[in-house]
Amino acid sequence: MANLVAPKVQKQAVSVTRKMSASLPGLREIAAQRGLKVHHLGAGYPHPEVTDPRGFLRHQEAYFEFLREREGLNDPDVLPEYLREAYSYTDTLGPVSARQTFANVYGKDWGFQLDAEKLIPTVGASGGINLICSMFEHPGQQVAYITDAPTYAGFTARVALCQHATIFSVDMDGEGPLPDTMRAQIRAAREQGYFVPFYYTVPDGHNPGGFSFSQARREAILEVAREEGILIVEDAPYLYINFADPAQRAKPFLSMAPDQTVHLFTGSKIGFPGPRVGFLYSEAELEITDGQKVSLSELALVESSSELLFHSPGALRGFEALLHERDEAEGFVERQSIWPLAEEKLVVYRENREILLEVFARELGAYTEYFSWTIPEGGFFTVFTFLNSGAGKPVQTNDAMIENMVMEHGLVVIPMYDFYPKDARQRDPGAGMNQLRLSFCFSESAGQQRRDDMREAVEAFCVAAKALVGLVGVSE
């Protein structure tokens, strides 16, 4: 037998979310033995009420029947074009109709016309992260990515797969990353010999930051990116999971500067998670040999075809169906906006968010010297901080504390420390060690039972939080 040697890879610590997933069955069993109901405040999954596929399947079937009738086929033995296309090989760009429909509807929502030929299908936004990273990771070239501290764990996990890639992170305040720090980190990386291609972020409903960037901060970030000559990779899974008043919503980087932005869209959070439909879009140009410039989308298409030559045309046509609505006169017409579709889903998340914030205000609002939390204007999360000040007992959100929350209180929560890149923890070894990422998106119940379960979960958390800092028995 041949002795096979595995390629040399960096040893990576298992992320806290994966450790939690692995240990959860055992912890849940212990909690059940103690008579505790398990409450989900950890998972960032779309809610089952939002992702119930039955209505979508009926809608898709009706849309496909509309396409068949529009072809005017009378012979039942003749295969309709839409059906042939949905179950055949397609090129890496996928069906033209799906891309064109998305370009039309998405462009209307954000105030400009997307070029359907620059839409590169991806396997969700995660596929877009992998694609944009792989475009800049070449042997012999040290590459540094700029990102937030904290940042999405899926991004740090992808960067860790490349031996010659690293992260230079940027600390944040309540409006977003600090522009001067961003500029300093870009220059520090270059001084150390790294090529710096882009800054990665989730500006709307930041995961795990639990807030959205202000418009002013976005403009300042864009100015830094332009002056320093780097791209902004805008991961936008929560763009339509937005709780702000429409007039107060900040603009995505895509609509501000499509030539400076790589935009990652996914349909997962608006009720279409299983098929993993996503798109990468950019109007940027990159300089190659001899000063020539080439479209980033062209390079992305070449890179994508080397990894995933054929995307699922059936999934893309199904997404196309979602972007059409019934019309009495014409059968089906293209939607004018995705917002009405998103609003159907937002009902669940808005209710859950309001319950979380109302219970926090009622149960913990009098203890501002002990606790704080972010107010999510989008997305699924709030960051809860134990301030460790005053007379309260210091709290460390380490693995032992997380396990204790399940076993003693039936609460599944996620600590923040693992969302901080390595360099951020070197700057501050205590980064995230007094914080939790709490999600309000997921439960195993529906309707009024969901609302009751969410309230019960947040109330149980408040009891646990007060106990951790020694406030049990203190009169309010």
User: What's the pLDDT score for residue 276?
Assistant: 85
Q: With b meaning 16 or more CB within 10 Å and e meaning fewer, what string describes 387-401?
A: beeeebeebebeeeb
Instruction: Give tens-digit pLDDT for 97-155.
Output: 999 999 999 999 999 899 999 999 998 889 999 999 999 998 789 999 999 999 999 99
Average pLDDT over residues 347-369: 96
Is 90 exceeded by the pLDDT of residue 313? no
**pLDDT bracket for residue 6 (50, 70, 90):** very low
- In this prediction, residue 5 has a pLDDT band, given cuts at 50, 70 and 90, of very low
Q: Could you identify the residue written with the tokens 């059968």? A: 331
Which run of H or E residues covers position 231? Answer: strand 231-235
Is 310 in the same domain as 393? no
Closest CA to 55 of 272, 315, 240: 272
> Are 44 and 155 contained in the same domain?
no
Residue 290 has pLDDT above 90, yes or no: no
Residue 5 maps to a domain = no
Residue 67 lies in a domain: no
394 domain residue, yes or no? yes
Q: Which residues contact 333 (CB under 8 A, 6 or more apart)?
A: 324, 325, 327
Q: In this predicted structure, which of 7-21, 198-212, 447-461 has the lowest mean pLDDT? A: 7-21
214 and 318 together in one domain: yes
Q: How far apart are CA 412 and CA 458, in angstroms?
A: 11
Residues 155 and 183 in one domain: yes
If you write DSSP's letter for every residue of 36-84 in order, what string do you get?
PPPEE-S--PPPHHHH-HHHHHHHHHHHHHHHHHHHT---TTSPPHHHH
Query: What number is the average pLDDT over the span 355-363?
Result: 98
Scan for tokens 């976005």, then name that residue: 218
Q: Which residues of 258-290 are buried (b: 16+ CB within 10 A; e: fewer)?
A: bebbbbbbbbbbbbbbebbbbbbbbbbebeeee
Domain of 275, CATH number, reads: 3.40.640.10
On whether both 138 and 283 belong to a single domain, the answer is yes
pLDDT of residue 476: 45
pLDDT at 7: 43
Q: Which domain holds residue 231?
A: 82-322
pLDDT band at 31 (very low <50, low <70, confident <90, very high): low
Same domain, 408 and 259: no
Query: What does the pLDDT look like over 62-101, one tens digit per residue?
Result: 998 898 888 876 677 777 777 777 777 777 788 899 999 9
Going by pLDDT thresholds of 50, 70 and 90, the confidence category of residue 247 is confident
Answer yes or no: are the C-beta atoms of 332 and 64 closer than 8 Å: no
Given this model, what pLDDT does residue 16 score? 54
The answer, yes or no, to whether residue 40 has pLDDT greater than 90, is no
Give the lowest-confidence range in 73-77, 238-242, 434-438: 73-77
Residue 393 tokens, joined: 């007992």
Domain match, 225 and 287 both: yes
* 207 and 127 fall within a common domain: yes
Higher-pLDDT residue of 37 and 356 is: 356
Same domain, 32 and 150: no
Distance CA 25, CA 439 (A): 19
Residue 362, in any domain of the structure: yes
Band (pLDDT 50/70/90 cuts) for residue 315 is confident
- As a whole number, the mean pLDDT across the chain is 88
Domain boundary among 322, 353, 384: 322
CB 346 within 8 A of CB 241: yes
Query: Mean pLDDT over residues 456-472, rounded?
Result: 93
Whether 58 is covered by a domain: the verdict is no
Percent over 70 (pLDDT), the chain: 91
Q: Which long-range contacts (CB under 8 A, 24 or more apart) does 398-401 make?
A: 398/433, 399/16, 399/19, 401/468
Judge contact between 141 and 164, C-beta under 8 A.
Answer: yes
Residue 254, pLDDT > 60, answer: yes
Question: Does one domain contain both 93 and 211?
Answer: yes
pLDDT of residue 79: 78
Higher pLDDT, 20 or 170: 170
Phi and psi for 215 in degrees, rounded to 5? -65, -40
107 lies in a domain? yes
Examine the pLDDT at 308 and tell me if it is beyond 90.
no
Q: Which residues pair with 176 in a beta bridge?
A: 173
- Looking at per-residue pLDDT, the higher value among 187 and 52 belongs to 187
Going by pLDDT thresholds of 50, 70 and 90, the confidence category of residue 21 is low
Q: What is the DSSP letter of 408?
A: H
Residue 335 lies in a domain: no
Range 443-457 average pLDDT: 92
pLDDT over 80 at 259, yes or no: yes
Q: How far is CA 343 from CA 12, 266, 337, 417, 436, in A?
A: 40, 16, 11, 33, 28
What pLDDT band is residue 474 in, cutting at 50, 70 and 90? very low
User: ∠ at Cα 433 (372, 12), nearest 5°?
Assistant: 140
Q: Evaluate whether 406 touches 27 at the Cβ level (below 8 Å).
A: yes
- Choosing from 322, 354, 382, the residue where a domain stops is 322
Q: Mean pLDDT across the stretch 309-325?
A: 86
Does any domain span residue 334? no
35 and 93 belong to one structural domain:
no
Closest CA to 52 of 318, 446, 455: 446
For range 407-420, the mean pLDDT: 91
Q: What is the pLDDT of residue 475?
A: 45
User: pLDDT tens across 171-191, in order?
Assistant: 999 999 999 999 999 999 999
Q: What is the CATH number of the domain that holds 453?
A: 3.90.1150.10
Please state the domain count of the chain: 2
Same domain, yes or no: 37 and 132:
no
